[in-house]
Each structure stands twice: as structure tokens, then as C-alpha cells.
Chain A
Amino acid sequence: MNTIPYFPGCSLKDTATGFESSAQFVMETLGLRLQELERWNCCGTVTSLTTDDLMHHLASVRNLVRVQDLHESELVALCSMCYNTLARTAQRINADPVERDKINQFMDRESSYEGTVEVRHLLQVLRDRIGWETLAQATPITLEGLKVACYYGCTLLRPKEAAIDNTEKPTIMSEAMAAAGATSVPFPFAGECCGTYQVVDRRDLSIERSFRVIQSALRAGANVIATACPLCQHNLQEAQKELGHVQGLADIEIVYFTELLAAAMGMDPQRLPEGLNVLIQQTAEAQTGWGGS
């Protein structure tokens, strides 16, 4: 089976294991196995935006070196924050031989980074390498009737250089959902911020922001929100827990987009979120008119 170097990131190894297992299932089904880097470190999470703070790009560069050591030139990430950090660092360091040299001088006796690795998000790999048609053919279980609000948040779309799709009107996740037979419902908060790290010391603020995102999806008629980021997922679920009593808020499922794709490809339901299984079953019953018995 063909493989592609894969960077998991810390969250996918503890709080977001379902994101990883579903993505692995999806890619195995499609014949392109995610090959986890043997050695990897934190992506760097929030690279400093000041131009002289190269130290904070080291973490990302080291991961790029690991890809280079495999004689590969492409790295795929699932977590949108890791994607964003790695991609922006790669763009900057690949394009600037002076900065690259400075980092290599610092790394000293270790392998130097040659500036040849490109970072992609899994959605880009699905679109550009696999193709929506192939994806559609690999989904025997249709998600027809499911109304998905594709939530991008910030890091898949901003800044423009790192955007995996049109910054204002992204369609990439909707296209993936459409390939699995689901209906994607547009909603105005698809690219709004969930509150991100504010959840640590300004939880009220992140709950407020995430609440608006969920409410916006509900008003658009969605019954499930698809995410691509463990932190977005966490913040949305926290808001749901906190404000579950607000009408309808508890009724929407919040899952990783890969979990929806994996469900459509026939992944063992026991490895998928319980709420998603119930929703898929109810939707299927409603579609065939077998429900309500």
C-alpha cells in the first residue's frame, strides 16, 4: 500500500484519539496509509509572528527534517492547528535561505534542513491526490439525509498563505461530505473563531464564541457539526455541556470530519462516537420511511 508521511500532533495522542483512528481507517480504505513519523515533536503550536523569533520555528523545522530523512517531500497533518503551524513555518523557511541557514547553524551537528518539504492538510490530500469521485466510490454506506455544518474555524483558512481553500467561501469540507452522500448546510459562522486558547483563563469568552457557532449551525438546520481541530472540538463541546439547557443545543452532534467519512466507509460503529451512530441510524430510517415504528 502507498504511504504518506504523517504528523499526528499531541492532542491526537490523548484527547482526540477518535480523530486519528477514523482518519487512519479512511486512508487505509483509500489505499494511502498514513505513516506516522518515527520521531516527532510538538509542532510548536503558536509560532511567534515577530520576524526575528526564529527559535519558535525550531520545533516545526525539526519535524520537517524527519520527513526529509525519509527522502520524502510531503507531510500530512490532521489537526488544523498543527497543519497551520507546520505549513507556515515550511513556507517561510523554504523560501528564505538566510533564515534556513541560521536555523541550520543552530542545529549544528544535526541534519540540516534543505527547505524541500511541503505540508498539507488531510482534506487537501483527499481533494488533490485521492479525488472526490474515488472518495465517493469508497463510501458504501450513504450519509444521505444527514445535514452537516462544516466548521473550519481559523487555522484552515487564515492567514491566506496557509489557507487550504478560499478564505471567505471554503467548500473543501462540504465537497468531502457530499462525496459521502451527506448534505452540507452553509452557515455564517463556519470560519469564526471558537475562542481557542482563551478557554484556559477566559473560559466564559470561549464558551460565548463557541455557543454562537453552534447556534448558527442549528439555525441553518444542521444536525451535526464537522470539525478538523481538537481544540475547536473541545471548545464547542464545552459550550454544549455548559449551555445544554438552551433549546436545541444538546441535539446537535459535534464530530471530526474523518469520523463521518469513516462511518460512510463502514468503520466498526463501536470505534465511533455513540451519538453519531444513533444519528446516522435515525437518519437512515427516516430516509427509507422505516422510522417511527
Chain B
Amino acid sequence: MSEEKMMQIFIMGKAYDVPVGVTIMDAMEYAGYRFVRGAGCRSGFCGACATVYRKEGEYRLEFALACQEMVEEGMHLTQLPFTPAPRSSYVLSELDADENVLLQHYPAIARCVSCNTCTKACPQDIEVMDYVQAALRGDLKKVSELSFDCIQCGLCSMRCPADIKHSHLAQMARRLYAVTQSPEPDHLKTRMSELAEGIHEVQLDALMKMNLDELKKQYAARVIEAEGEES
């Protein structure tokens, strides 16, 4: 039996020996943690596993998604699975999308001093401060483009000295931009009318008529998109 290479990390202050070359999430599970919150897609898309850590001898806090970042010797880490950040409520179709609409719903953006701490906390490498600044001048397009990769992990809002609710602000901007400025994509229009015409009804009817065994067989034989692409 080959011997697994091990190293020491610290999870919430407690030392654990974990295998070399695994993600933070795998290391935590190896150490005995079971995720009830703080884990989702495990693929870097959902933003549920926001993690902060410090490396041995480093003065900086670092930020990552636990499912994406590899553990390193001497890492001190903890998870922040949720960020309390109230969301403004609005009815999209009733909003007056003028240059002040974001400021009215998220007035804290006016407190931005351009410290850029948000940007440094972003595990997605988004220019967070730049989109807050674009929001200040009502530039919906720029906010939408810059924030597109946001997975709403909330680390920016945890770090912000001005208490800005970045991810909610950006989501509002993207919604508004989509509704008021960006052209409706052709493929969406086509798809919507296909759905309205009942393009899937034949398949759905066939599924509804199957018994449990047939359904199980179909399920086992299904082609998973990502796997299908690889083969």
C-alpha cells in the first residue's frame, strides 16, 4: 500500500493532517467535517463555499472558494457560507431606470472611498470596485459587464468598510440592463415560442406513461452532457 503524503492545516484554529493535493473542501471532509451549508455545486459556480484563509507567515487574508482552491501546508482557514446583506425589493417592470435608480435602492454605494478591498476579496477576480463606481454614475451596461461572473459568495460585502451590498446591487443592475437596454437575443425568442407551441409535450407525455422500472432504466442510460462531450 502506497503511503499518502500528508500535511498540516488549521481549520477554525484546530490542527489537522490532511492529504497533499486536495481542495480545501475535500480536506475539510477528510478531517471529518460534514457540509450542511457551505457546499453546493462543487464546481466553482454556486458561490456557497466562500472561504477565508491566511498562509503561514503571511500578513494578508486570502479569499477563495473551498471547492476550487488547493490546501497548502500551514493554511489557517474558516468558511463564511453566508453573508448577511439585505436585498432591496422592487418590481422590475415598475422601476424608472434612470441614472439614480441604483443609488436609490443601494444608497451605501455613495460611501465608497475606492479602497478596492472588495476587489481583493473576490475569488472570481472581478473588478468589484470598478463596478460600484460605474453604479454610482448609473452606467448599467458597465456594471452588468464587469459583474457578469459574480457568483454572489458575498466576500466583498464582508470586507467593505462602507457596508455596500455588492452582489445584490450588481444583480439589480444586470436585471435592469437586460430589461431596458440590451437587445432581446434571437435564440431566446425562438425558444420561447417553441415552448409555447409545446415542443416538449411529446417527450413529456411519453415519460408520464412509463412505469417505474422503465423510468429507472431510462435514468441509468441517460447521457450526462459533460461526460457525453468528453467521450
In the assembled complex, the Cα of A42 lies from the Cα of B114 at a distance in Å of: 8
Q: Which residues of B (94-126) have their CB < 8 Å from a CB of A?
A: 99-100, 112-116, 120
With known contacts A15-B99, A41-B129, A10–B136 Cβ distance under 8 A: yes
Q: Residues 115-143 of chain B: 1 if any A CB is under 8 Å from the residue's CB, otherwise 0?
A: 11000100000010110010011110000
Residues of B contacting A234 with CB < 8 Å?
Answer: none
Residues of A contacting B127 with CB < 8 Å?
Answer: 39
With known contacts A14-B137, A39-B130, A62–B116 Cβ distance under 8 A: yes
CB pair A41 B133 closer than 8 Å: yes
Q: How far is the CB of B117 from chain A (nearest CB, A)?
A: 10
Residues of B contacting A108 with CB < 8 Å?
Answer: 60, 120
With known contacts A41-B129, A41-B130, A55–B137 Cβ distance under 8 A: no
Q: How far is the CB of B180 from chain A (nearest CB, A)?
A: 15
Nearest residue (CB) in A for B100 is A14
With known contacts A41-B130, A42-B133, A56–B113 Cβ distance under 8 A: yes
In the assembled complex, the Cα of A172 lies from the Cα of B185 at a distance in Å of: 52
Q: Which residues of A (150-190) have their CB < 8 Å from a CB of B?
A: none
Q: How far is the CB of B99 from chain A (nearest CB, A)?
A: 4
Residue total for A at the interface (Cβ-Cβ under 8 A): 19
Nearest residue (CB) in A for B115 is A58
Q: Is chain B's binding surface mostly helix, strand, loop or mixed?
A: loop
In the assembled complex, the Cα of A238 lies from the Cα of B164 at a distance in Å of: 31
Q: Is chain A's binding surface mostly helix, strand, loop or mixed?
A: loop
Q: How far is the CB of B114 from chain A (nearest CB, A)?
A: 4
Asked if A13 is an interface residue, CB under 8 A from chain B, the answer is yes
Residues of B contacting A109 with CB < 8 Å?
Answer: 120
Asked if A5 is an interface residue, CB under 8 A from chain B, the answer is no
Nearest residue (CB) in A for B138 is A14
Residue total for B at the interface (Cβ-Cβ under 8 A): 17
CB pair B114 A58 closer than 8 Å: yes
Q: How far is the CB of A15 from chain B (nearest CB, A)?
A: 7
Asked if A191 is an interface residue, CB under 8 A from chain B, the answer is no
Nearest residue (CB) in B for A9 is B137
CB pair A58 B137 closer than 8 Å: no
Q: Residues 24-54 of chain A: 1 if any B CB is under 8 Å from the residue's CB, otherwise 0?
A: 0000000000000001111010000000000
CB pair B115 A13 closer than 8 Å: no
- Residue among B133, B137, B138 having the largest count of chain A Cβ atoms under 10 Å: B137
Asked if A267 is an interface residue, CB under 8 A from chain B, the answer is no
Residues of A contacting B139 with CB < 8 Å?
Answer: 13
Residues of A contacting B138 with CB < 8 Å?
Answer: 13-14
Residues of A contacting B120 with CB < 8 Å?
Answer: 108-109
Nearest residue (CB) in B for A110 is B116
In the assembled complex, the Cα of A15 lies from the Cα of B103 at a distance in Å of: 14
In the assembled complex, the Cα of A10 lies from the Cα of B112 at a distance in Å of: 13
Residues of B contacting A110 with CB < 8 Å?
Answer: 116
Asked if A279 is an interface residue, CB under 8 A from chain B, the answer is no
Asked if A107 is an interface residue, CB under 8 A from chain B, the answer is yes
Residues of B contacting A40 with CB < 8 Å?
Answer: 133
- Residue among B100, B116, B127, B136 having the largest count of chain A Cβ atoms under 10 Å: B116
Residues of A contacting B130 with CB < 8 Å?
Answer: 39, 41
In the assembled complex, the Cα of A275 lies from the Cα of B115 at a distance in Å of: 42
In the assembled complex, the Cα of A14 lies from the Cα of B112 at a distance in Å of: 18
Asked if A125 is an interface residue, CB under 8 A from chain B, the answer is no
CB pair B115 A55 closer than 8 Å: yes
CB pair A44 B116 closer than 8 Å: no
Asked if A59 is an interface residue, CB under 8 A from chain B, the answer is yes
Q: How far is the CB of B110 from chain A (nearest CB, A)?
A: 9
Show 23 residue pairs from A and B whose CB-CB distance is below 8 angstroms, ordered by the A residue: A10-B137, A13-B99, A13-B137, A14-B99, A14-B138, A39-B127, A41-B129, A41-B130, A41-B133, A42-B112, A42-B114, A42-B133, A44-B113, A55-B115, A56-B113, A58-B113, A58-B114, A59-B113, A59-B114, A62-B114, A62-B116, A108-B60, A108-B120
Spell out A's residues near B (CB within 8 Å).
Answer: 10, 13-15, 39-42, 44, 55-56, 58-59, 62, 106-110
